[in-house]
Amino acid sequence: MLRKFSLRKLSIFPKLILTFLLITAPLFGLSLTLNELGKKEVQQQLNTTMASQIHYYFLSLEKEIEQIVRVQEEMVNDEDLQKLTGLLTILSHYEKMKALNELANKLKKIKESSQYIQNVSLFIPAVQDVITTSGDIPVTREQMESISLAGFNKGFPLIYWNDRLFLSVNFPHYNALNPSQNALQFIMQVELSAETVREELGKFHQQGETVLFSDYWAIGSHKDIGEFREINEKLTDQTAPKGVFTVSLDHGRSYVGIYEKSLSLDATVLFFLEENKLLGTLKSYRNWFWLLLGSSVVILCLFSYGIYLLIHRPLRDLVKLFKNVEKGDFNVAVKHKNQDEFGYLFKQFEKMLGNLKQLIDETYVQKMELQSSELKQLQSQIHPHFLYNSFFTLHRLIKNYDIDSAQLISKNLGEYFQYITRNAQAEVTLADEVGHVRSFTAIQGVRFSKRIQIEFEELPEKMANVRVPRLILQPIVENAFEHGLGEKMRSGLIRISFELSNQMVSIIVEDNGTDLDDSVIDGLRSKMERHVAGSESTGLINVHRRLRLKYGALSGLELSRSSFGGLQVRILIPTGSG
């Protein structure tokens, strides 16, 4: 007669085995489910990240192309070009050569304005000559006319000609309905650097391939674009302007493709990567999961037998490690001699510590990159009014034969732009930063000499070698000119002074503006403290955030009312930090 089975009659050993199975079975099932969900989530995140990178690249490329085309079209108003196209018959040989040299210099500046520009050429039928920045490859009139005609037939800015990319502008624009009226004055063409485009495409993903292409041309991140043509045939089925697709080729490999189309450029960016390379690590986790499951069943009996004796000491050590981590000590030594489940826990704990330290390091790197990006953003915020008004002032001084003032303006303009465009160092000495602002105020002092007086104290010698972030003082002084004294027609005053106390460098910029009340000052303070990263920022906010990121809460800008009645901005820099 069979006895009735009772769980209560079992010894502790089988109870441990059964308990282990009952507990681990749902966990293994959940782990398998989470692994699948995680794989899908990671794949979606990777696709989203790559799509965002492609979109950002396309926006940058479109803006770069638009800027180049805008510069080409603005050449219509160039004074030297107008002389050569309309007044050539009355120009002397010297005036003609001077105008040609000036145009050549302008073409060089256009070439240097963008990393994508390889060569700039200008053909003027009136002088029967081609001006070009290319010293190695000659550019002919016939070549430029062929490229111009190809651009007209295509109707898009990018022109593909003899395995090269061009942007072409001719004036007046070609009249297809009445070709006899095409009295061509000039053709200006910019050749784009395919190598630079290839280098930018190569920054997306090292294992994948990125291709920028149109109907008749293609540039890949590698010269051999491999399976692009087969994948591109599948892309023709995609009608959406951007998206993600998966394709299997004849040799059995599957690829993930991410693309975006540009209507304005008539081009497409396609990134594709073999699916196994994209998800290889995640798929290996599933194999490790089954391996772990099988191993757990094999060692289940031995583990259950010894768990009662061995559980207390490992748990005590593990709790101690957690307490050390809770106190902020990530350099704890994780040791466990026995190769059991606690060994697995200790191993995963060590891996977790490594991941936490890596995340901390990445956060620090992101902080440094944010400082660098905000410096570059501040460098790009050169007020255009200051640029051309300074040159207008210089022109007026030269016209009036005020040679001394003209020399002062031109010298300080050169030093100003030399400092602005220098990207080698994120930090400079305070003496260099103050010297840059002296150049800026010297220019402004000439421009506004009739209505604004500038008092600029000498920098104390003890503060000269203090290292500070670049471009922290000029935005403050520029704000005083533009906003503090923008409406003041006479007796304006800007004062720049320095203080050193309690290991704190203070730079004070104040004005005697009359249109400032306390509510405006309170509003500026609020904007600086509540500024959201990624939103549009002014010069004051940008400087304040950069100082806070580098030196901490004791640094930044302090706003108050000046003793002269206007705004006082105090720049605080701890000398014992950074």
Task: Kindly state whether residues 55 and 171 are assigned to the same domain.
Answer: yes
375 falls within a domain: no
Residue 2 lies in a domain: no
Domain final residue pick, 255, 278, 301: 278
How many whole angstroms separate alpha carbon 397 and alpha carbon 406? 6
Helix (H, G, I), strand (E, B) or coil at 468: strand
C-alpha 195: how far from its chain's center? Answer: 20
Whether 435 and 450 map to the same domain: the answer is yes
Evaluate whether residue 498 is within a structural domain.
Answer: yes
For residue 156, is it within any domain? yes
Residues 51, 161 share a domain: yes
Phi, psi of 19 (to 5 degrees): -60, -40
Count Cα atoms within 13 angstroms, Cβ side, for 260.
18
**Rounded CA gap, 162 and 481, in Å?**
52
Q: Give yes or no for a contact between 124 and 144, defined as CB atoms under 8 angstroms apart.
A: no
pLDDT of residue 460: 92
Q: Cis check for the bond before 172: say yes or no (omega within 30 of 0).
A: yes
470: its two tokens: 């670049």
Residues 400, 401, 403: CA angle, nearest 5 degrees:
130
Give me the amino acid identity at 373.
S
Task: Give the residue among 139, 84, 82, 132 at the shortest CA–CA distance from 111.
Answer: 132
* CATH classification at residue 332: 1.10.8
Please tell me whether residues 387 and 268 are part of one structural domain: no
CB 387 within 8 Å of CB 368: no
Q: Is there a single domain that holds both residue 238 and residue 329? A: no
Query: Are 143 and 253 in the same domain?
Result: no
Beta bridge partners of 500: 505
CATH number at residue 450: 3.30.565.10
What pLDDT sits at residue 458?
92
Backbone conformation region of residue 402, classed left if phi is above 0, alpha if psi is from -120 to 50, else beta: beta
Q: Which two tokens stand for residue 572?
A: 């605080």
475 in any annotated domain: yes
Closest residue by Cα to residue 258 from 275, 283, 280 = 275
Q: Which domain holds residue 385?
A: 381-574
For residue 9, the model assigns a pLDDT of 63
Does residue 372 lie within any of the structural domains?
Answer: no
Same domain for 220 and 336, yes or no, is no
Q: What is the pLDDT of residue 380?
A: 46
| Degrees to nearest 5, angle at CA 128 with 125 and 133 | 95
The reply to whether 441 and 298 lie within a common domain is no
CA distance 206 to 120: 32
Which of 278, 298, 333 represents a domain boundary (last residue)?
A: 278
d(CA 310, CA 337): 12
- Phi, psi at residue 107, to the nearest 5°? -65, -35
Claim to verify: residue 545 and residue 425 sit in the same structural domain: yes
Helix (H) / strand (E) element for 439: namely helix 430-447
Do both 290 and 345 map to the same domain? no
In a domain, 548, yes or no: yes
Distance (Å, whole) CA 110 – CA 162: 23
What is the DSSP code (8-state) at residue 331? -
Ordered per-residue pLDDT tens for the chain, 578 residues: 445 556 666 655 566 677 777 777 787 777 777 777 777 777 778 778 888 888 888 888 888 888 888 888 888 888 888 888 878 778 888 888 998 899 889 889 988 888 888 898 888 888 888 888 877 667 777 888 887 777 665 666 788 888 888 888 888 765 544 444 557 788 888 888 888 888 888 787 767 788 888 877 888 777 666 667 667 766 666 677 888 877 777 666 778 888 888 887 888 888 887 777 766 666 666 677 677 777 777 776 666 666 656 665 676 777 777 777 777 666 776 776 667 666 777 777 778 877 777 676 656 555 555 555 555 554 444 556 667 677 777 777 788 777 887 888 888 887 888 887 775 577 889 999 999 899 888 888 888 888 889 999 999 999 999 999 888 898 899 888 888 887 788 888 999 999 998 889 999 999 988 878 888 888 888 888 775 554 445 778 888 888 888 888 889 999 999 888 889 999 999 986 44
Q: What is the CATH number of the domain that holds 245?
A: 3.40.1840
pLDDT of residue 557: 92
Both 164 and 296 in one domain: the answer is yes
If residue 561 lies in a helix (H) or strand (E), which one and from where to where?
strand 556-561
> For residues 194 and 160, is the Cβ–Cβ distance under 8 A?
no
Please state the domain count of the chain. Answer: 4
Residue 4 lies in a domain: no
Give the pLDDT confidence score for residue 505 in this predicted structure: 93
Residue (of 481, 487, 543) closest to 510 by Cα position: 481
Residue 336 CB contacts under 8 Å (≥ 6 apart), including other chains: 314, 317, 342, 343, 346
Question: Counting beta carbons within 10 angstroms of the beta carbon of residue 366, is it exposed (0 to 12), middle (13 to 18) or buried (19 or more)?
Answer: exposed
Same domain, 211 and 272: yes
